[in-house]
Structure 1
């Protein structure tokens, strides 16, 4: 029933306890055993589960390994296929560079199969110029235990000699001892890339050089670059004529000319019909390659001096379906390929475009320079205006005329510089320009210094509405026209004055002679009467000054000219003016000329300055300032525009008479030097003062101008040519000579009775024998009969029946060695000058006194031959 033991009575306590302990131990052991069995059952169940899972895992792993092995096999097959199929070069080399493996790309790059490459050194395929560089790179990688590295070099095809640019990527593998076991490498062919880069660089260099080279030089540069790109040894670039039948030989490369050609044939023409296969590109109108030139039939000729050809590539250059040029390269060490064709075509086209562009630019630049030079050197001012009338450009002449710099005048309105009185003309000018596209008018333009200049402006409007204004300064022309009219007026008055002076001088000569004889007769007997004779002589001399002024006015006088110091003239006249004009007028002198001596007559020069001074006085009724200045100026036709034949280039004494008076307007200025013109009241002036000044100035090869503006005073500019020191010295010597007597037979010819009465007496008094004739006919007849006894003929110029010139000619025919002294009341110009040129020995102007004629006769008969006293 579940009892585990029994015990009989009486039982011992110890036995009971022992039994209880035993059964408790058994029970505990059974409990533990049951627990262990339960755990064992559980463990067995778990083990079964684990075993089942392990079996599943083993089966799965086995399947995975099988799949991995299959994938690895597939990957290896794919990698092998990739390595074999890639165009890149794949190699494996050992530490010595010996090829362990190389893919099929070795056929193209090395010219060897992959099998034949195994065991060979990879360095044997390197270009000789890159061999050392590659070896150094490899050793450096080994030394530094490099894992990976990249570099570029060139490899050579051992079969064709073709060179490949390669870009390498290498991975180095080492063993546990750090020793290199092998190197895996992939090399990409970058030959085309390098070639394109070189082509682009060459094209860039060449297109940047046109401005520094001629077309021929540019073509040579293109050829030199093309040779480098194609590895050729010779090249040419020639043009085709429009007839497509003749080639113009233009350019060869530097190597072709310097290294190979024996004869330069540039810039000559070569008929295509005589040319060989090198012009087949023209015949067939396409690119031609001859890689085996020697085997070609019908090679025919090449231009004289052309080098031998082994290979050639020639491309045509087309424009508008016509061949305009051909470019050829030759003698490449290996065959030409499509890559070479592409390079040569690109270079040929670019060369043509560049040359055409530079020729066009040169032609345009030449045309621009030519037209710019026309504008720059044009004597007329050229103003360029936009459609709104603003000046946008000017030429140098425009700046010179307007006295503006380009910066000052550009951006200004041209028409606003035209004086207000001529604005209506300007408006009409613009109207004509708008209507007809061109216009021409004369206006007054205000230049930078505020003065006005007369300009003829001729305007044209261009298609872009730009306006060109061609301006001609005619201010001086208008002045000259005015002066010419003034000269013509004065010539008329001068003819009257000269006639009066001629007769007057004849009378003065006679009266002066009688007065001198009278003085000689009375000098001892009656000194008082002799002094009266002196007074008569002095009065006659003053009268001769009046006559001289008349002749000066008419410019028909040939008065005695002597060196005159203008500073002395100014000092004397200023002293006189200070005592004769109002004290409210201040007189100032600024004598700055270092040379102030000119040729002239002191009295007339004093009269010039006195007239100008009095004229200034009259212009300052309320007082003011009179300034007289001198300076030396060097002038020529370019610096001072004087009327034709009015000025002798050289140093001039400039005398300025400046007043601060009322000034003059342009109307007054245009008449200021006309005879009888005056702005004064009739009782204050006759209008002869400035006209006489003008004539006297011209008489002595000078000229006079005047500047004046109303209410701003006036400035008279007087110019005289300065004389040399030698003239002054010679004059000083002549002035020290005294009157002398003489002897000889003189034929005196004059139509004036009073002169014929007195002069022979004067000559007799001097010791000469005198015969007198009253006209040319009588003189010639007398000379014909007595010429051997006549030492000197004194011959008047203006006589009735036969004048002095004709008489002199007739007498010279009688005796070619005639000694004649010409006398006239007019100047030595005209007949007198001709007679001097034809052999007359000297000339003396009327009136003359005993001393003057005695000296000149003495000089003539002594052989000095002075031509003017």
Structure 2
């Protein structure tokens, strides 16, 4: 006997069983011998509990099930099997998503640690190259070679930033953002980047909710997805970017369990390109995974997209089949009733030095030496400390003689955050600039709330460092 629900699920009817079909025919061939063996054991009186099999439908498709079987008796003798079958397709999908999330978290932690160490190595290369460039001029022997070294180091710095975005250890500057405006303003750049044989279509929903986002990072997400779409359509096609308001109700969350209930803004990027097979799709967000030729890509673009979306408390999906194109969908939490902030153009600031005294705190010898030489070149007096404890001692001994502290955030011992707190206890008016290439869980936001005046990225960019230092020193 098979109930009506099973008939519908397997695409079978009673006629199939009257013509000789049995329960084992509903098990995929690769699992059928094990199912028969387990049934024999149950008939012998063994209790096997739940068993997992691959079930077989009339159309030849399969799906995972768990089955609980008991023996059916007549006059005290086993004469058959009674089984309860449960479809676990959705459970398997959720398990796969959970495994993927754990894997990405582990790889992200590794990537963040590598980026931290790599940043310090790059600092020496980039920093000293820029120092030598400042001391020389165009046409000097070796000047062009130094420029190439500096450019290569900056490209390396960009790779570490992508790793940090993937690992979610790169801080975001969040503000209310209208994604429609971001997409519209990026369209001109896309039209210059995407070949004319690829049509760009925008489908933007009116009255779109604002989201809390870092505009530059959202632009990076869009550009990475657009460039991937371009590469998937070498002979032309259509690139579509869509926005819409979405609600994460129970039905949506069954397929996307990471979403918490509430309002979202969905951002989709779709192409009509080559598509991806199942194996490629499973690794699409893995760092350093790429199907492009050697030298054509780093394999970090989509990993960075994944990291940025997660850093925005969002969720990203990818649907693709060979020959049918690819569609990425991103869900970002909506912030209803908040006016989006228009983008602000950065001001050009004159590069100036000074004569003040700076306490430079960093546990890396080469970074500390480079920072000191750079600041001294522009007129500053520099006192160095290699950890938080030494910095506190120096500041206490020279109270009033230090105009600014540049403080590394990640150091052994008491660390940058605790050092900042104790500096402020010693002197509430102390000017502190935090420096780091690696941050965890909103650390930059926390040190700003504690009292840090500004933040500079490592490896140091000469212009950024000097402008930040001068800007903080000029504050009232």
What TM-score do the two structures reach when normalised by structure 2? 0.69
Q: 1:486 to 1:835 in 2, by over 3 A?
A: closer
What is the match of residue 277 of structure 2?
Answer: 665
Contact 1:595 1:722 (8 Å CA) reproduced: no
Structure 2: distance between partners of 1:574 and 1:411 = 59
Decide whether aligned partners of structure 1 residues 391 and 562 sit closer, same or farther in structure 2, where only a CA change above 3 A counts: closer
How far 1:468 moved relative to its partner?
2.5
Q: Deviations over 1:677-731 (max 9, x none)?
A: 23344364443332232233333333321122343332211223345665745x8
- The alignment status of 1:424 with 2:424, answered yes or no, reads no
1:763 and 1:596 map into 2 onto residues whose CA distance is 49
Alpha-carbon separation, structure 1, partners of 2:242 and 2:373: 50
Cα 1:667/1:557, change in 2 over 3 Å: same
User: Within 2, Cα distance between the matches of 1:427 and 1:733?
Assistant: 68
Aligned mates of 2:326, 2:27 — CA distance in 1: 23
Q: CA deviation at 1:475?
A: 0.3
* Structure-1 separation of matches of 2:14 and 2:370: 77
Q: Decide whether the 8 Å contact of 2:67 with 2:85 is kept in 1.
A: yes
Whether 1:457 and 2:70 are equivalent positions in the alignment is no
Q: Aligned residue for 2:372?
A: 756
Change over 3 Å in CA distance of 1:409–1:685 after alignment to 2: farther
For residues 778-832 of structure 1, the C-alpha deviation after alignment (integer angstroms, 9 at most, x for no partner) is 422212223355565332224578753564466467x274746352232442694
SS of residue matched to 1:391: helix
1:355 corresponds in structure 2 to none
Partner Cα distance (2:183, 2:345) in 1: 25
Q: Residues 480 and 643 of structure 1 are in contact (CA less than 8 Å); yes or no, is this contact kept in structure 2?
A: no
SS of the equivalent of 2:398 reads helix
Superposed, which structure 2 residues align to 1:214-225 within 5 Å? none
State how far apart, in whole Å, the 1-side matches of 2:289 and 2:448 are: 40
How far does the alpha carbon of each residue in 1:723-774 deviate from its partner, in whole angstroms, 9 at most, with x for none? 5665745x8799799899999875443452221233466695xxxxx65223
Would you say the 8 A contact 2:360–2:384 is kept in 1?
A: yes
CA distance in 2, matches of 1:581, 1:836: 41
1:491 and 2:97 matched: no
Structure 2 residue 435 is matched with structure 1 residue 824: yes
What does 1:382-461 align with in structure 2 at a 5 Å threshold?
Answer: 387-388=1-2, 390-391=4-5, 422=28, 424-425=30-31, 428-429=34-35, 432-433=38-39, 435-436=41-42, 439-441=50-52, 443=54, 455-461=64-70
Q: Which has the higher contact order (CA 8 A, sep 6+)?
A: 2
Preserved contact between residue 239 and residue 269 of structure 2 (Cα < 8 Å): yes
Aligned positions of 1:70-469 closer than 5 A: 387-388=1-2, 390-391=4-5, 422=28, 424-425=30-31, 428-429=34-35, 432-433=38-39, 435-436=41-42, 439-441=50-52, 443=54, 455-461=64-70, 467-469=83-85
| Residue 615, structure 1, aligned to residue 224, structure 2 | no
Q: CA–CA distance in 1 between the matches of 2:273 and 2:439?
A: 41
* Structure 1 residue 478 displacement after superposition: 0.8
Q: In structure 1, what is the Cα distance between the partners aligned to 2:416 and 2:115?
A: 21
Q: Distance in 1 between matches of 2:350 and 2:336?
A: 27
What is the TM-score normalised by the length of structure 1?
0.41
RMSD of aligned C-alpha atoms?
5.2
Q: Distance in 1 between matches of 2:206 and 2:422?
A: 51
Cα pair 2:270 2:327 within 8 Å, conserved = yes
Among 148, 169, 182, the alignment partner of 1:556 is 169
> Contact 1:554–1:695 at 8 Å: present in 2 too?
yes
Q: Which string of whole-angstrom CA distances, capped at 9 and with x for unpartnered residues, describes residues 248-307 of structure 1?
A: xxxxxxxxxxxxxxxxxxxxxxxxxxxxxxxxxxxxxxxxxxxxxxxxxxxxxxxxxxxx
The answer for the alignment partner of 2:76 in structure 1 is none
Larger Rg: 1
Question: How do residues 581-730 of structure 1 correspond to structure 2 at under 5 angstroms?
Answer: 581=194, 583-592=196-205, 594-595=207-208, 597-635=210-248, 639-640=252-253, 649-682=261-294, 684-723=296-335, 728-729=340-341
User: What is the alpha-carbon distance in structure 2 between the residues aligned to residue 541 and residue 566 of structure 1?
Assistant: 33
User: Residues 788 and 626 (structure 1 numbering): CA distance in 2 closer, same or farther, change over 3 Å?
Assistant: closer
The question of whether the paired residues in 2 share the 8 Å contact of 1:505 and 1:825 is answered with: no
Which position in structure 2 is the counterpart of 1:470? 86
The one-character-per-residue Cα deviations of 1:414-442 (angstroms, maximum 9, x if unpaired) are: x99xxx99553367447635752754215
Could you tell me which runs of 5 or more consecutive residues in structure 2 were left unpaired when the two chains were aligned. 74-80, 138-143
What is the CA–CA distance in structure 1 between the aligned matches of 2:280 and 2:222, rounded to whole Å? Answer: 21
CA contact (8 A) 1:573 1:606 kept: yes
Alpha carbons of 1:849 and 1:782: their partners in 2 closer, same or farther (altered >3 Å)? closer
Contact 2:104 2:286 survives alignment (8 Å): yes
Structure 1 residues 678 and 542, CA, compared in 2 at 3 Å: closer, same or farther? closer
Question: Gaps (5+ residues) in structure 1?
Answer: 1-386, 395-401, 523-531, 765-769, 863-869
How far apart are the structure 2 equivalents of 1:843 and 1:762? 20
Count matched residues.
435
CA distance in 2, matches of 1:595, 1:513: 48
